[in-house]
Amino acid sequence: MKRKSVLSTLMLLVAISTSTLAQTVSQMVADWKRAKEYTQEYLDAMPADGVGYKPTPDVRSFAEQMLHLANGNYNFAAAASGKANPHQGKNLEKMEELKSKEALSKAVAESYDFVIQSLEGLKDGDMGASIKLFGRDMSRGVAYAKAFEHQTHHRGQTTTYIRMKGIKPPNEKLF
């Protein structure tokens, strides 16, 4: 009897901790809207003549970092939501027509819109559904968390690019 009690208590603790850590869809949408605005501040900070800038020859340019971020947004959100990726099979960071400041800003903003629209069609209960992402089994919620982590990582990498152009990068935007 004692064993059942311990097991029940453990299961209750797991349920409580998971539910307090889980984000609702509306919280995710708010975070993605904030991330879109924050990324736009980075795009606005870099002058037009700096979008092709590379700190060293063997790394992505500023534009390529941002287009890699956009590609990731499409790929992660398509896998997580089941919606068709409008750029399936394309490598945005290799598309020269997207490397002007105006085209770059538009392409990146549209990738955030795709993620936000894919989330807006979901309910909180949908986040636990099992999906495949890049050949790995995970929940839909985890896939969206990985997507958020990916865009944060690549936006963060461009901080150095902006600083090396003598520009102060945007302040952190946590809320």
Q: What is the CATH number of the domain that holds 40?
A: 1.20.120.450
The confidence score (pLDDT) of residue 113 equals 98
Tens-digit pLDDT profile for residues 43-61:
999 999 999 999 999 999 9
Q: Is residue 1 part of a domain?
A: no
Question: What is the number of structural domains in the chain?
Answer: 1
Nearest CA among 44, 32, 30 for reference residue 106:
44
Q: Is residue 18 part of a domain?
A: no
**Pairing mode, strands 136-139 and 130-133:** antiparallel
| C-alpha separations of 125 from 104, 137, 141, 143, 162 in Å | 35, 18, 10, 15, 40
Tens-digit pLDDT profile for residues 75-90:
999 999 999 999 999 9
* 62 within 8 A of 99, measured Cβ to Cβ: no
* 74 within 8 A of 111, measured Cβ to Cβ: yes
Q: Is residue 101 part of a domain?
A: yes
Q: Is residue 170 part of a domain?
A: no
* Helices assigned H by DSSP within the chain: 2-21, 25-45, 62-81, 101-120, 140-164
Q: Is the pTM of this model over 0.85?
A: yes
The confidence score (pLDDT) of residue 91 equals 97
Domain encompassing residue 133? 25-164
- Answer whether residue 63 shows pLDDT above 60: yes
